[in-house]
Structure 1
């Protein structure tokens, strides 16, 4: 008998009410999937590295960043749906990033941060790097703009770095910001929003590349049932998740277009 298919929700899985809500969300979705004949795990996989699991053959449900999707995962996974969040910084499935600084920094616009110290969560991050690069490219003139760049390892860590004075500026995911604002506002104390980046399609839910059309339809149907279930409302409210939309691979090409536009301006890497 084959092992149950795995699920991960590592993109937004911060300790406390968000993590508990992720567990309850998966419990509800797993029940709906089993009703449709799919064998799935009881709990979320939090042991595997979030990036590695995206390409695993036993993945039934996960969420990935849009930039790794367009640069690495196209053809290896299938898009399930793209969340629509209730938080500021987006419209529909589109999300911007918030460029943040310490409240005591004198900079008022992005131009004021030339030569600043930057924190990014990951070089392959759409919100932390790709959208940020698109915002800086018109200002950089094809030359390095920042004084230094540190890789924090996560959006919350980037916020911490700015608050603690380890970095002057960072570009952070607006859903992460919204979740902290809702559940842990103390983590945002001393940090302010300078501007918003260009928008692009947000982090999609995905499944393994070998998922059949029938299985994909079942996953989407189960997800829609969870979103419509009144018993799940408090869980969805905790996650700020108010709906989903079905986007195509072509919709995500916009994220690569932003990279190409920065390249055309001579700003091929955030620097």
Structure 2
């Protein structure tokens, strides 16, 4: 069996993630049938898309966008985590719109804003083109005509670094990742926060063990509720919220509309090494 929680596995939180899983694994072993082998450790490598779709995935976490685009057909939804985030309802998160130090913040055209002298087309850094928080939220939040180029950074942390280095102008950073960047990434100190995207459901927890998905979900809720308070604080976690698949499905057509707004016909953009 596989357990993988890759979305916020920053090196600085490796010990906390390991400790959280030890606690959750113990609860799962108490609640699940003996023939379900609960992994001792979190998986940290391998093809993540294959793991998301695997019938051996006991517990995983994915992004809402690929889940809405079809992953929901191949996996069972366990719920969405509740993180400690200002300005969001329980079980929701948003993206922080950040700009490089030299960008005129009041000239950035956000959707619905009235900018009399818009800035030149902006160079955007996105963590991945299948990311709700880093790609879809960016396109949805920016006004038409404001994007000049898009580079794939590979991670929210690298996007922050690219802005600080002056090789990109703007990015939308997952709200949890932004808090972590403020804690652990010096480059974040130089950036400007110019807005926030609309909240959406948090990154879904999933399982390939469909037969026991309900029990797994209840175990995770119990495990997170009884997690050590210092671990909750370090990981910004409060618990797990019940979700329906339909809560996420709007994310796919919304990206299509946002791409049309920016005259993008495909999501294939140059990768940044």
- Tell me if both proteins adopt one fold, taking TM over 0.5 as the criterion: yes
How far apart in 2 are the matches of 1:103 and 1:84?
32
- Return closer, same or farther for 1:165/1:244 CA change in 2, 3 Å cut-off: same
Q: Is 2:225–2:238's contact at 8 Å kept on the other side of the alignment?
A: no
Of the three residues 19, 23, 32, the one matched with 1:24 is 19
The answer for the alignment partner of 1:222 in structure 2 is 219
How has the CA–CA distance of structure 1 residues 261 and 33 changed in structure 2, closer, same or farther, with 3 Å as cutoff?
same
Q: Whole-Å Cα distance in 2 between the matches of residues 262 and 74 of structure 1?
A: 22
> Do structure 1's residue 116 and structure 2's residue 122 form an aligned pair?
yes
Could you tell me which residue of structure 2 aligns to residue 248 of structure 1?
Answer: 244
- What is residue 161 of structure 1 aligned with on the other side? 162
- The residue aligned with 1:12 is 8
d(CA) in 2 for partners of 1:120 and 1:51? 19
Cα pair distance change 1:268/1:148, threshold 3 Å: closer
Q: Match for residue 210 of structure 2?
A: 211
- Stretch of structure 1 that moved more, 26-35 or 261-270: 261-270
- 1:114 deviation in Å? 4.2
SS of the equivalent of 2:69 reads helix
Shift of 1:267: 4.3
SS in 1 for 2:102: coil
Gap change, CA 1:176 and 1:194, over 3 Å in 2:
same
What is the rounded CA distance, in whole Å, between the counterparts of 1:247 and 1:262 in structure 2? 25
Q: In structure 2, the residue corresponding to 1:99 is in which secondary structure?
A: strand
Which stretch has the larger CA shift, 83-92 or 259-268? Answer: 259-268
TM-score (norm 1): 0.87
Which residue, 20, 30, 33 being the options, matches 2:28? 33
CA distance in 2, matches of 1:8, 1:226: 16
How many residue pairs get aligned? The number is 256
Q: 1:104: how far off?
A: 3.3
C-alpha distance in structure 2 between counterparts of 1:120 and 1:260, whole Å: 17
Shift of 1:266: 6.7
Contact 2:157 2:185 survives alignment (8 Å) = no
In angstroms, what is the RMSD of aligned CA positions? 2.0
Q: Is the 8 A contact 2:95 2:197 kept in 1?
A: yes
Q: 1:160 to 1:241 in 2, by over 3 A?
A: same
- Once residues 113 and 206 of structure 1 are traced to their aligned partners in structure 2, the CA distance between those partners, rounded to angstroms, is 41
Task: Give the Cα separation in 2 of the matches to 1:89 and 1:114.
Answer: 30
| Compared CA separation, residues 266 and 15, structure 1 to 2 (3 A) | closer
More moved, 25-34 vs 91-100: 91-100
In the superposition, relative to structure 1, how do residues 96 and 110 fare at CA in structure 2: closer, same or farther (>3 Å)?
farther
The 1:180–1:109 alpha-carbon spacing in structure 2 relative to 1, beyond 3 Å, is same
Counterpart of 2:173?
172
Measured after TM superposition, the shift of residue 268 of structure 1 is 4.7
The 8 Å contact of residues 80 and 203 in structure 2, kept in 1 or not, is answered as yes
Of the structure 1 ranges 109-118 and 192-201, higher mean CA displacement relative to structure 2 is found in: 109-118
